[in-house]
Amino acid sequence: MSWLITLLLNSAALLVADYLIDSIRIVGFTSAVLAAILLGFVNTFIRPVLVILTLPISFFTLGFFILVVNAITFSLAAWFVPGFHISSFGGAFMGAIITSITSWALNAIFNNR
């Protein structure tokens, strides 16, 4: 049951990013839920591979390149989910940051394990 609450909170975080950033568009709550599911999958399986492949760049940028990797995974999810559109890399970059912060805050407030 807690995974369902986490999924709904992450979907709400995506909708917050949609509201705050003009270059992100999510059409409906269903698209937000599908995007949250796919983001979970991408962050679990694909992001670690990208982090390892970009480790030298991340080392030389003192870890700031991880933000670029987050934007890439955010864009990747948008590429596969119908109704979830990102029109610029800056939108993906800011969307990944806003979604992460909002998701963390919502999970801290509502998901008491």
* Contact criterion met (CB below 8 Å) for 103 and 25: no
Per-residue confidence (pLDDT) for residue 5, from 0 to 100? 86
List the one residue out of 83, 70, 4 whose CA is nearest residue 39: 70
From the centroid of its chain, how far is CA 112?
22
**Cα gap 63→55, rounded to integer Å:** 9
Give the three-class secondary structure for 26. strand
From the centroid of its chain, how far is CA 104?
11
Mean pLDDT along residues 103-111: 88
pLDDT per residue as tens digits for the range 15-49: 999 999 999 999 988 999 999 999 989 998 999 99
Per-residue confidence (pLDDT) for residue 113, from 0 to 100? 59
> Which residues 6+ apart lie within 8 Å of 43 measured at CB?
73
> Does the pLDDT value for residue 62 go beyond 90?
yes
Give the three-class secondary structure for 93. helix
So where are the chain's domains?
2-110
Q: Give the burial string for 2-11 (b: 16+ CB within 10 Å, else e).
A: eeeebebbbb
